[in-house]
Amino acid sequence: MNNILEIKDLCKTYYTKLGCVEALRNINLNIHDGEIIGIIGNSGCGKSTLLSILAKLDEGTSGDIKSEKKDYVVGYMLQNDALFPWLTILDNATLGLKIKNIKTKENIEYTKQLLETYGLKDFMYKYPNSLSGGMKQRVALIRTLAIKPDILLLDEPFSKLDLITRLDISDDVYKMIKQEKKTTIIISHDIGECVSLCDRVAIMTKRPGTIKKIYDINLLNKDIPSKVRTDEKFYYYYDLLWKEIDK
């Protein structure tokens, strides 16, 4: 198994006027090429901090992140990532391209293709208020995919959605990630979501966050995450993770 990223002894301390906050302590984690890895842990344990460092938006205080591709492209979907209501769906979906200054004809065409493949063709020139929550989420993911990232970082992508939409959209998102063959790191508070979507799940300790344990999730018929919940081993993994998470 090739590693797309190797995180070695990554530490992060925030220094503020009120003092310092040690967010991450000696994070060691390899991200395998093509996998979906979940990261789960208490609120405030440093999950978003870790992703923002992997996305190169912030830097660790010490430690190292190695990648076989020096300038790996990251698609980062933030916690509460929203569409801009005054932009059409196509303009929202190509926003990342615009920001990166790569809004070429070819890349716009690729984005249109993604919108078409994932059921949004008829909405390209409409505005976000004509979309359901699940559809908006799909557009946000397409915006992230449009820049052709080597690795996708999803920070609680479903936390704003109601349970039914959440199950529905996680099936869609799973399909999209697997079809587009993207290595993905997904942060979630939801154990069931991690078990049903991920190939591996890493558990973080309370702050300062460290990687406490990593589990391989071996379930049959993983093509449709919402159906995985009926697999008898689903609850075995659910329990395993639940017991391990710091309360």
Token pair 């996680």 is found at: 170
210: left (phi over 0), alpha (psi -120 to 50) or beta: beta
**Number of residues forming the site for Mg ion (CB under 5 A):** 1
> Which of Mg ion, ligand ATP, none lies near 46, with the C-beta cut-off 5 to 8 A by kind?
ligand ATP
User: Can you list the positions of beta strands (E) in 17-143?
Assistant: 19-32, 36-40, 62-67, 74-77
Residues in 189-228 at the binding interface with ligand ATP, rule: CB under 6 A: 207
Sheet containing 3-16: which strands, arranged edge to edge? 19-32, 3-16, 62-67
117, two tokens: 């493949």
Rounded least distance, CB 125 to ligand ATP, Å: 35
Note whether 8 and 31 are within 8 A (CB): no
Should residue 157 be labelled a site residue for ligand ATP when binding is judged by CB under 6 A?
no
Rounded least distance, CB 44 to ligand ATP, Å: 4
Piece in contact with ligand ATP (CB under 6 A), picked from 30-38, 43-51, 136-144, 227-235: 43-51
Residues in 47-86 at the binding interface with ligand ATP, rule: CB under 6 A: 47-49, 79
Note whether 153 and 175 are within 8 A (CB): no
Among 10, 27, 45, 167, contact with ligand ATP (rule: CB under 6 A): 45
Phi, psi of 183 (to 5 degrees): -70, 130
Rounded least distance, CB 246 to Mg ion, Å: 16
62, two tokens: 């010490």
Residues in 24-83 at the binding interface with Mg ion, rule: CB under 5 A: 48
Residues in contact with ligand ATP by CB under 6 A are 14, 16, 21, 23, 43-49, 79, 207
